Amino acid sequence: MRGKIIEKKDLKHETSKNELQASDFAHRIYWTNEARGWDQTKRRRVLIAVREFVERKTFDANQAGRKFHIPQVDKSLHSGPSLLALIEVLRALEAFYDRWEK
């Protein structure tokens, strides 16, 4: 018996899903490399600033274009998914360092 025939629309959806996963992974790797060089004070300051920023009504979590600037992070513009990845990375690093220091 042959496998399921993949229609073009299914292939497009699968590609989009894979691209989103790859993009999320790339954001997490980038932010992990950046944040590991920050001291605890900067990591906490950035986490607070980014959390406050993404809680605004004007924040678009799906905005792929780099249009958001948060001075506490750096001088660059960032996308919504990138900022959400930064929050996750900072939470993970905070948990890691909290366990490490105990």
Read off the pLDDT of each residue in 72-93 and give the average, rounded to a whole number.
Answer: 95
Q: What is the pLDDT of residue 86?
A: 97
What's the pTM value of the predicted model, to 2 decimals? 0.78
Q: How far is CA 64 from CA 24, 67, 68, in A?
A: 11, 9, 10
Mean pLDDT of 38-60: 94
Containing 99, the helix (H) or strand (E) segment is helix 80-101
**17 phi and psi angles, rounded to 5 deg:** -65, -45
Measured distance CA(24)–CA(31) in Å, rounded: 11
Give the mean model confidence (pLDDT) for residues 59-73: 87
Q: Report the DSSP beta bridge partners of residue 68.
A: 78
Instruction: Give CA–CA dist 95/76, Å, rounded.
Output: 26
